[in-house]
Amino acid sequence: AQRVTQPEKLLSVFKGAPVELKCNYSYSGSPELFWYVQYSRQRLQLLLRHISRESIKGFTADLNKGETSFHLKKPFAQEEDSAMYYCALATGGGNKLTFGTGTQLKVEL
């Protein structure tokens, strides 16, 4: 069965410090992975997807099939990055997503 693991419930960093939010997955098929973000009092929204291989708001994520990981990284954290981040794995037909338990990122001044 598919599974997404985000080991950190809370990650606290100082402004300007590098950020890495960890995500590991378990899936027998060819994975397609996403990062979704939820800012305070806003709806959940897509941040980025591995297939796009692009940087969004300074964040990048590389799919490592050998380590079954899709960690989210940003070299210099900003206060506005404070949010809840969910890693998600697309499985089966019809766009079904399996979400991790989420990591709350807090960027301190």
The site for other proteins (CB under 8 A) is made up of 6, 9, 30, 32, 34, 43-46, 49, 51, 86, 90, 93-102
DSSP string, 1-57: --EEE---SEEEEETTS-EEE--EEE-SS--EEEEEEE-TTS--EEEEETTT---BT
User: Closest approach of Cβ 109 to other proteins, in Å?
Assistant: 25
Residue 56 in contact with residue 50, Cβ under 8 Å? no
Pick between residue 66 and residue 93 the one whose CB is nearest to other proteins: 93
**Identity (one letter) of the amino acid at 41?**
R
User: Closest approach of Cβ 87 to other proteins, in Å?
Assistant: 9
β-sheet bridge partners, residue 4: 25
User: Closest approach of Cβ 73 to other proteins, in Å?
Assistant: 21
Pick between residue 1 and residue 109 the one whose CB is nearest to other proteins: 1
Pick between residue 15 and residue 96 the one whose CB is nearest to other proteins: 96
Residue 97 in contact with residue 90, Cβ under 8 Å? yes
Pick between residue 55 and residue 78 the one whose CB is nearest to other proteins: 55
User: Closest approach of Cβ 94 to other proteins, in Å?
Assistant: 5
